[in-house]
Amino acid sequence: MEQSGRLDRGDGVELAWAHLPGRGPTVVFLPGFGSDMAGEKATTLAAFCAAEGRAMLRLDYSGHGVSGGDFINGSIGRWADDARIVIDRVITGKMLLVGSSMGGWIALLLARARPESVAGVVGIAAAPDFTERMWENMTAEERATLASTGLVVRPSNYGDPYRITRGLIEDGRQHLLMHGPIPLRCPVRLLHGQQDADVPWQLALSIAERVQSSEVQVTLVKDGDHRLSRPQDLILLRRTVAALLGEC
């Protein structure tokens, strides 16, 4: 039975998590920018792991879902550290990291930092370095507003507008991955929709090129969007995770 809880990361901000005991490696789901552990991909994998007797961990970064903290105080480094804190306190042993969009960036960062603990990585529209693309796509007026006020609000296709801070952009530059080799040796699977309006599908090919593992596969879904949450997309995700677990 899945257990849920909250933990203080050390500064009074509580991080929410849900853990399903079972056989390892533990599937760890890392949500996207502004998303949370109650999304369809996370809950689909939780149901799959429950049926298969597999261990799984879901979590919300600070400022996301039911965790504490303010979203605008977050950054790539902060949210990656949130994930690391929850992982360290809730589970042990090997992990299979599954990251959606920004979660794919965080999965790659965690796998690079802890290669001995990661059995594999699955990226769903993985979006490493997306903060730089945000910056590049800003108008001169938006950049000036960001410099003077520290905050720009941009429309989102998925609900509330995005609140982009100067701290998010500046911190993102400390965690860029796409300027050189990505030193991972574990299996990596990248799923990406070719109708993705937010993250270009060509990025999946660039990630595959930079990851040093020879065990890298890219699956392009010709009619898939950024979310890849349609029934057929979720079936693909389950099959991908099941195949990797079968190899562990």
Containing 43, the helix (H) or strand (E) segment is helix 40-52
What is the spatial distance between Cα 44 and Cα 229, in angstroms, rounded to a whole number? 10
Query: Which of 60, 101, 117, 129 is an active site residue?
Result: 101
Is 226 an annotated catalytic residue? yes
| Spatial CA neighbour of 162 closest among 170, 171, 153, 151 | 153
196 among known catalytic residues: yes
Selected catalytic residue, list 82, 129, 196, 198 = 196
Characterize 78-114 residue by residue with b for buried, 16 or more Cβ atoms within 10 angstroms of its Cβ, and e for exposed: bbbbbbbbbbeebbeebbbbbbbbbbbbbbbbbbbee
Go through 118-136 and write b for each residue having 16 or more CB atoms within 10 A of its CB, e for each that does not. bbbbbbbbbbbbbbebbbe
Q: Which residues are catalytic?
A: 101, 196, 226
